Amino acid sequence: MNISKEDILGGLLNAALLMYAMILSPTIIAGGVGKEFFGALMTTTIIVTIIFTLANGIYARVPFAQSVYMGENAFFAFSLVGAGIPFATALGIVFWAGVLFFIISVSGLRARFGKAIPKNLSLIWGFAVAAFLLYLAFSDAGLIKGSTTGLPTLPANYKDLPVLSFFALAIFIVILYKKLPEAIKGISILASIALALIIAPAIFKISYPSLIFGIDDPSKVIFILNFVDAWNYAYLILIFLLIELVDVTGTLKALLAPMKRDDDEKVIERVMHVEGVSTAAGAFFGQPTVGTYIESAGAVAVGARTGMASVVTAIVFIPVLFITPFFSQLPLQVLLWATAPALAAVAAFILLKVMQEIDFRAEPGNVILLLFTFPGIFGGNLLIAFVLPMIALAGYEYFTERKMGMPNLILSLIGLVTLVLYHF
């Protein structure tokens, strides 16, 4: 198969734009499940990125890269494992959500399910994810900290080097983002992590370990999922499924729009098949939802149009596997701090996009739905930030005497049942 220079450039660009996730995602998950899993998680993050980016290229024939979703990884780490659900059981929840997603995709029901979720609710979920990631970034950087009352407090001294350097790195991202061409603006996120790792020894008064080439043992997280106990949390399987449907559909439509293809629906179906398999199989590798990254827009912008770009991206990630031992030897505090500006930037980009699309003037009820995310955001539990707006959806329509559609009523009931079962 011939490969164009646009596909080569697009593949290289996708790899550069996604590289930050190879460090950031395992750091987020390790923050919830434990530092001892970081090395294995980083290894399997890279492995699933290679495998399913390759699948997108060969089967779906699109220049879209796949990796572990930001947002879902935080949901998994803090709202499931952090809330007391065993790691293996939480992976089982992700697995069954992936299986259901695949069934919906191949059966042709995907479009119906997608239409049943109101756009305003999906945007509110996007806001909740972004706001929680921003909250997490501030916490990782030391800008806020917990207290005995449970309320976040300000640190004793903003003059501490980790806090000051967070602001400096955030400014660095903004400046670089504004200077770079549109297609490669996302590289500013990777650049901030690289710069943070360069200055970390001076900030934390540590010495870096020797650069050891090898692959961190992934056995701690591979094939540990619990299929059976996951069904004790069937309501969480459904929530994961709904969130993935919203994320994937929105991402694919945004990526396909500038490509101006005549077969968008066929392409979406093929990518959806890969998404279902990647999420279910990703759970075998100890990873939450695996899906197509919006950063793939960089490849599209430079003219990549075929799956060969994804093949190039997958090949580029292979050597990255061999430097995982270096990162796993770093203290978790350093990893959290080094990735905090990048996490804040990802959150800010999502927030800007979502807030531009939410129509508060035509639909004032969106303000109410948005406010209902706050208990979950500030309480450190994304599940609550997802289900309270679902419940409020029907409540708002009832009190404003609007005609309540059946999909909204069902979503509200799912939210209510989820909330009750989660707590009791």
Nearest to 12 by CA among 230, 260, 313: 313
SS3 for 124-174 is HHHHHHHHHHHHHHHHHHCCCECCCCCCCECCCCCCCHHHHHHHHHHHHHH
What is the predicted pLDDT for the residue at 180? 87
pLDDT band at 186 (very low <50, low <70, confident <90, very high): confident
Structure tokens at 423: 């707590």
Helix (H, G, I), strand (E, B) or coil at 306: coil
Residue-wise pLDDT for 16-34, tens only, equals 999 999 999 999 999 999 9
- pLDDT at 154 > cutoff 80: no
State the number of CA atoms in the 13 A half-sphere of 308 facing the CB. 13
- pLDDT at 267 > cutoff 90: no
Chain centroid to Cα 269, Å, comes to 21
Which residue is it, tokens 């710069």? 195
State the number of CA atoms in the 13 A half-sphere of 21 facing the CB. 33
Percent of the chain with pLDDT over 70: 94
pLDDT band at 361 (very low <50, low <70, confident <90, very high): confident
What is the predicted pLDDT for the residue at 269? 87
| Helix H or strand E encompassing 373 | none
Please give the backbone phi and psi of residue 67, each rounded to the nearest 5 degrees, phi first.
Answer: -160, -170
| Helix H or strand E encompassing 404 | none
* Residue 7 zone, left/alpha/beta (φ > 0; ψ -120 to 50; rest): alpha
- pLDDT at 42 > cutoff 70: yes
> Greater confidence, 146 or 128?
128
Residue 193's contacts (CB-CB under 8 Å, 6 or more residues apart) are: 20, 23, 24, 338, 339, 341, 342
Q: Are 139 and 145 in contact (CB under 8 A)?
A: yes
pLDDT band at 212 (very low <50, low <70, confident <90, very high): confident
| Helix H or strand E encompassing 292 | strand 290-292
Q: What is the mean pLDDT of residues 154-158?
A: 66
Q: b vs e for 282-300, b when ≥16 Cβ sit within 10 Å of the residue's Cβ? A: bbbbbbbbbbbbbbbbbbb
Q: What is the mean pLDDT of residues 151-178?
A: 83
Residue-wise pLDDT for 90-113, tens only, equals 999 999 999 999 999 888 777 777
Q: Are 38 and 30 in contact (CB under 8 A)?
A: yes
* Residue 84 zone, left/alpha/beta (φ > 0; ψ -120 to 50; rest): left
What is the predicted pLDDT for the residue at 418? 92
Residue type, 34: G
CA-CA-CA-CA torsion for 46, 48, 52, 53, nearest 10 degrees?
-10
- pLDDT at 236 > cutoff 90: yes
Residue type, 105: S
Q: Are 80 and 86 in contact (CB under 8 A)?
A: no
Helix (H, G, I), strand (E, B) or coil at 261: coil
- pLDDT at 151 > cutoff 70: no
Q: Are 70 and 277 in contact (CB under 8 A)?
A: no
Percent of the chain with pLDDT over 90: 62
Give the Cβ contact number of residue 222 at 10 Å: 16
Report the range of poorest mean pLDDT among 47-61, 206-220, 310-324, 338-352.
206-220
pLDDT band at 170 (very low <50, low <70, confident <90, very high): very high
Report the range of poorest mean pLDDT among 69-78, 142-151, 278-287.
142-151
Q: What is the pTM of this model?
A: 0.91
Cα–Cα dist 309/53, whole Å: 10
Residue-wise pLDDT for 304-317, tens only, equals 989 999 999 999 99
SS3 content of the chain, % helix, strand, coil (to 5): 75, 0, 25
Cα–Cα dist 2/241, whole Å: 37
What is the predicted pLDDT for the residue at 254? 85
What is the predicted pLDDT for the residue at 147? 56
Residue-wise pLDDT for 291-343, tens only, equals 999 989 889 988 898 999 999 999 999 999 999 999 999 999 999 999 999 99
User: What residue segments make up the domains of the chain, in order of their start?
Assistant: 5-423
- pLDDT at 149 > cutoff 60: no
Helices (H), 205-233: none
Helix (H, G, I), strand (E, B) or coil at 206: coil
pLDDT band at 385 (very low <50, low <70, confident <90, very high): very high
Q: How many helices (H) and strands (E) does the chain have?
A: 18, 2
- pLDDT at 152 > cutoff 70: no
